[in-house]
Amino acid sequence: MGKFTPIIQVIPRVLPKVRDVTKHSMTRLSEKTLEQTGIFSRFLMDVADVSLFIGRLVREMFSGHFEWREFFQQCFQIGSKSLALISITGAIMGLVLTIQSRPVLVDFGAVSMLPGMVAVSLIREMGPVITALICAGKVGSGMGAELGSMKVTEQIEAMEVSSTNPMRFLVVTRFLAATLMIPLLVLYADLMGILGSWAGANIKGDVTFSLFFSQAFSSIAFIDFLPAVVKTFFFGAVIGLVGTYKGYNAGRGTESVGKAANSAVVLASLLVIVTDMIAVQITDMLMS
Amino acid sequence: MSTIQAEKIADPWPIINRSNEPVIEIMNLKKSFDMEPVLVDVSINLYNGENLVILGKSGSGKSVLIKCIVRLLNPDGGTIHVFGEEVGQLGNAGLSELRKKIGFLFQSGALYDSMTVRQNLEFPLRRIKKGLTEKEISEKVIEVLENVGLADALNKMPSQLSGGMRKRISLARTVVVDPMIMLYDEPTTGLDPVTSDEISELINDVQQKYKTSSIIITHDIECARATADRIIMLKDGEVYTEGTIEDFEKSTDPLIKSFFK
Ligand SMILES: Nc1ncnc2c1ncn2[C@@H]1O[C@H](COP(=O)(O)OP(=O)(O)OP(=O)(O)O)[C@@H](O)[C@H]1O
Ligand SMILES: [Mg+2]
């Protein structure tokens, strides 16, 4: 018996240590797994949230009366706020594209193709994507910040108790306004781009506007034009959706307004690029 | 529930007729956020024509309580009846009808930043009192603005107003639709004593003029003194005590005394 006494005496001293160590490693383990499952479940919850939001958006769009006044006001806001920015970017886009491509075309003796080439790349890709990215910054962040601050300062709740459906009044109108206005802004940017390109062509050459214009448009088939226009509606929808979603679901507290605006820009820009990729793939499949 | 038992306060009811039907009847209301209980078990009645003041520490769930009444938040348990109708059972149309009868003054004022003062006041008028002519709308807006003493702010933006002016404009926006029940969330917080007194007076005016029943949430004892017919104190998500202003002032309970120092 005496042989065992030391062990028995040691047990009470060791046991707490063993317990501490296991507890410590257990919590570390569980923290890590929690973190991992946390990220995953948060992602799933986000997906569920967005789906619910889209569901509500669609339901409100087709039920009850439509807030025309707010819709037109939003269209005007989106158009007027981005017009100057889009004009400048569009024109510079066309100008730079022309100046850059000219030497290459000269080498191949194909300067006469310049207007057509610039027009095709503007209308098919540059115009839509660059305009959409600018609008993601301007319109998307604006919506995120506006709705976010309305949420934080209880304005959305105030609307709700004034028997106004904020989803219909704020979200549906802004979403549709973005979906409609961004394609128009893209068309406008295309036009400014061709103007800029004409200016660029005139730096080293001498073309009349009508000649340049007819050359540019003769090389654009309807088949170039249609998919480019269709995808801009999706760009608009993506920007409207992300902006309103981020703003409408802003957290509590002022810092969430900034977060909403910021994440609206990031996500909207990313989704514009992704949508563009998908659109190009689909067009490619349909054309071939 | 805390271990400190609130001393029993004398029956507050000579002031208000007990036979009076309650306009709001809250029973065993429960609400938690992320497992964190805010309201544990709250039962409160608001009787016709009375001003009921609710006191409680910051974070004790006062705003949550009145948001549950208009279902801006959905309670986890318990029932709320307003004018005999159970709020939780109402459909969209019913809820919208109910909200038209209730004025809600938000703690932050909640003025629409993108609209002028006039548009702010017109917004609920056009949506709740449908069928008014432009002239009637404009007259009504000017009338309530004069009542809060800010007729000259008509075409200003909320960002151009001071905090006190904003509070008064939001009060005007709440009463412009003649609600039958008013819910005031801290109407005087952050205002100087003079403006606070004016707001308290406005609250009493509204009660007398429009025969409203009101719940007034406040930390401001002066406001409670000026407006309260009855006071309820919340603590740890339950009703801690109930009584008249005199009962509260006489109380020896440490928590109550700390409010009425
Ligand atoms: N929408 C919400 N989501 C999560 N938690 C919330 C929400 N609303 C309130 N809470 C929490 O509920 C608790 C009570 O909030 P409430 O705003 O009702 O306090 P209060 O009594 O009005 O305080 P104060 O006097 O400071 O306004 C707080 O801890 C708050 O963080
Ligand atoms: Mg509050």
Residue A240 in any domain: the answer is yes
Same domain, A166 and A191: yes
Query: Which ligand 1 atom is nearest residue B234's CA?
Result: 21
Same domain, A109 and A201: yes
**Among B121, B115, B123, which residue's Cα sits nearest to residue B146?**
B121
Residue A170 in any domain: the answer is yes
Q: How far, in Å, CA of B156 to CA of B121, rounded?
A: 12
pLDDT, tens only, B228-240: 999 999 999 999 9
pLDDT, tens only, B56-107: 888 899 999 999 999 999 999 999 999 999 999 999 899 999 999 999 999 9
Total domains in chain B come to 1
For residue B211, the model assigns a pLDDT of 85
> Residue B72: which domain range?
1-53+65-99+206-261
- DSSP designation for B113: T
pLDDT, tens only, A137-162: 999 999 999 999 999 999 999 999 99
Q: Which residue among A153, A155, A161 places its CB closest to the CB of B99? A: A161
For residue A21, the model assigns a pLDDT of 64
Residue A61 in any domain: the answer is no
> Residue A164: which domain range?
67-287
Same domain, A207 and A249: yes
For residue A18, the model assigns a pLDDT of 63
Per-chain mean pLDDT for chain B? 88
CATH, residue B91: 3.40.50.300
Token pair, residue A109, equals: 């003796």
* pLDDT tier, A193 (very low <50, low <70, confident <90, very high otherwise): very high
Residue B91 in any domain: the answer is yes
**Is residue A192 predicted with pLDDT exceeding 90?**
yes
Residue A55 in any domain: the answer is no
Instruction: Provide Rg for chain A, Cα atoms.
Output: 28
Q: Up-side HSE of residue B130: CA atoms within 13 Å toward CB?
A: 6
**Beta-carbon count within 10 A of A74 CB:** 23
Q: How far, in Å, CA of B131 to CA of A78, rounded?
A: 32
Residue A62 in any domain: the answer is no
B86 φ, ψ (degrees, to nearest 5): -80, 120
Residue A60 in any domain: the answer is no
Total domains in chain A come to 2
Same domain, A178 and A271: yes
Judged by a CB distance cut-off of 8 A, whether residue B257 touches chain A is no
For residue B3, the model assigns a pLDDT of 37
Give yes or no for a contact between B103 and B131, defined as CB atoms under 8 angstroms apart: no
By CB atoms closer than 10 A (0-12, 13-18, 19+), residue B51 is: buried
Same domain, A186 and A278: yes
Cα distance from B111 to chain A (closest Cα, Å)?
6
Cα distance from B247 to chain A (closest Cα, Å)?
35
Q: Are strands B238-243 and B230-235 parallel, antiparallel or unpaired?
A: antiparallel
Same domain, A43 and A71: no
For residue B14, the model assigns a pLDDT of 42
Residue A283 in any domain: the answer is yes
**Is residue B12 predicted with pLDDT exceeding 50?**
no
Judged by a CB distance cut-off of 8 A, whether residue A255 touches chain B is no
C-alpha A222: how far from its chain's center? 27
Which of B:52-81 have CB within 8 Å of A? 67, 70, 72
Same domain, A75 and A45: no
Instruction: Pick the residue whose CA is nearest to atom 3 on ligand 1.
Output: B33
For residue B16, the model assigns a pLDDT of 47
Same domain, A205 and A105: yes
pLDDT, tens only, A81-116: 999 999 999 999 999 999 999 889 889 888 888 889
**Is residue B6 predicted with pLDDT exceeding 50?**
no
Give yes or no for a contact between A219 and A116, defined as CB atoms under 8 angstroms apart: yes
Lowest mean pLDDT among A62-76, A213-227, A274-288, B97-111: A213-227
Same domain, A42 and A138: no
Same domain, A129 and A250: yes
Same domain, A204 and A230: yes
For residue B7, the model assigns a pLDDT of 44
For residue B70, the model assigns a pLDDT of 95
Residue of chain A whose alpha carbon sits nearest to that of B94: A163
Cα-based distances in Å from B25 to B46, B47, B206: 6, 9, 22
Work out the average pLDDT over A124-129: 94
Same domain, A213 and A269: yes
Residue A57 in any domain: the answer is no
- What is the A233 CA–ligand 1 centroid distance (Å)? 41
pLDDT, tens only, B151-169: 999 999 999 998 889 999 9
Give yes or no for a contact between B79 and B59, defined as CB atoms under 8 angstroms apart: no
Work out the average pLDDT over B200-228: 90
- DSSP designation for B7: P
Lowest mean pLDDT among A10-24, A55-69, B141-155, B170-184: A10-24
pLDDT, tens only, A10-63: 666 666 666 666 556 655 666 666 677 777 888 888 888 899 999 999 999 998
**Among A214, A175, A174, A176, which residue's Cα sits nearest to residue A194?**
A214
Residue B159 in any domain: the answer is no
